[in-house]
């Protein structure tokens, strides 16, 4: 495939710290496109200068992205090729670009990735925490109440969780994480990846918090926190089953709703419809009682 194609927006990953991580293909694309859309043009100019690349830069950030997208679409329609970069790592991953990419695709034009560094993936690759399924949660809310609410909603998530955090909030966020998930939950903190003070440590949330509190150096820089998912005791499936059942029972007879919800979620059908209440099923049991009365039938229950 040609390095740069006419009328294409190339989404180019840049390093998250170590300049050596800019790929050969990224350099070629950045040297060849007509112009580069950058989150912060001064920041990207430094990267380009370090690589000996001189190209026009266009500011495309979260505050102007929607407005400038149509102009960029016009340039692409006229056959120009453009690149999109963010300040570090992969654009669109906790970075601007989503609206532009959407507009370009909606216009029927090509968007092509030049993959490379991404802090979340780099952290996952060194954490030693199950990585076959994971949820990227990005930044947690800044306010503690909203943060705890978000964490509570993730409390039963069985997949590995990946969070981004800055030096301003790392201690507060770890405090909330240890309280909501418990200090024994397995976790790894990846700090300043690929940079001089790269540190990857941890075994539990409690131990990470203790080290971050004790050592101011461990509160500096940029962080990715990788947290093992909740032990799979069936609670996540049960909660999902209850959620589905609550929706489906408005559309189907309760027994069929329970059957379908059980199939889709993996929760036991009995726990959704007239079964013994499980820990997290308190609400659903109440719902079940209503459903039984309204339906007047449990003919196909086992
Ligand atoms: N688009 C980027 C990517 O692909 O990873 C992420 C951009 S987001 C605005 C910046 C956050 O990513 C930081 O606050 C930090 O959580 C994480 N991050 C970026 N570089 C990092 C690094 N070298 N080490 C650890 N975390 C990093």
Structural domains in the chain plus CATH codes = 8-117 (3.40.1010.10), 120-227 (3.30.950.10), 235-294 (no CATH)
Helices (H) and strands (E) in the chain, counts: 12, 10
Nearest CA to ligand 1 atom 20: 16
Q: Is pLDDT of 246 > 50?
A: yes
Q: Is the CB of 190 under 6 A from ligand 1?
A: yes
Q: Is the CB of 137 under 6 A from ligand 1?
A: no
Ligand 1 closest atom vs CA 118: 4
Among 42-56, 185-199, 236-250, the least confident range: 236-250
- Choose one of 26, 119, 191 to mutate for the ligand 1 pocket test, by most ligand atoms within 8 angstroms of C-beta: 119
Tell me the C-alpha distance between 223 and 219, whole Å: 9
Ligand 1 closest atom vs CA 195: 23
- pLDDT band, residue 234 (cuts 50/70/90): confident
CA neighbor of 99 nearest in space, from 151, 152, 60: 60
Mean pLDDT of the chain: 90
* pTM for this entry: 0.82
Cα 49 to ligand 1 centre (Å)? 22
Would the CA dihedral through 268, 273, 279, 284 be positive or negative?
positive
Q: Is pLDDT of 302 > 50?
A: no
């Amino acid at each position: 495939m040609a390095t740069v194609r006419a009328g294409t927006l190339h989404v180019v990953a840049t390093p998250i710290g170590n300049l050596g991580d800019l790929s050969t293909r990224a350099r070629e694309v950045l040297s060849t496109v007509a112009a580069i859309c950058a989150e912060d043009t001064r920041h990207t100019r430094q990267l380009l200068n370090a690589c000996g690349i001189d190209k026009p830069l266009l500011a495309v950030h979260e505050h102007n992205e929607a407005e400038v997208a149509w102009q960029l679409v016009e340039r692409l329609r006229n056959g120009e090729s453009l690149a999109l970069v963010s300040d570090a790592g992969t654009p669109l991953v906790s970075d601007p670009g989503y609206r532009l990419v959407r507009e370009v695709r909606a216009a029927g034009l090509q968007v092509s990735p030049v993959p490379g560094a991404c802090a979340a993936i780099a952290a996952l690759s060194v954490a030693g925490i199950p990585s076959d399924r994971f949820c990227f949660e990005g930044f947690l809310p800044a306010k503690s109440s909203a943060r705890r609410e978000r964490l509570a909603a993730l409390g039963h998530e069985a997949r590995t969780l990946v969070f981004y955090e800055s030096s301003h909030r790392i201690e507060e966020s770890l405090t909330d994480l240890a309280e909501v998930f418990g200090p024994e939950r397995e976790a790894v903190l990846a700090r300043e990846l690929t940079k001089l003070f790269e540190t990857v440590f941890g075994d539990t949330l409690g131990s990470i918090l203790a080290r971050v509190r004790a050592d101011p150096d461990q509160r500096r820089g940029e962080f990715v926190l990788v947290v093992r998912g909740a032990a799979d005791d069936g609670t996540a499936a049960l909660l999902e089953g209850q959620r589905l059942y609550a929706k489906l029972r408005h559309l189907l007879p309760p027994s069929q709703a329970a059957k379908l919800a059980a199939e889709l979620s993996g929760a036991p059908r009995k726990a959704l419809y007239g079964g013994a209440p499980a820990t997290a099923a308190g609400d659903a049991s109440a719902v079940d009682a209503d459903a039984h009365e309204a339906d007047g039938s449990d003919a196909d229950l086992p």
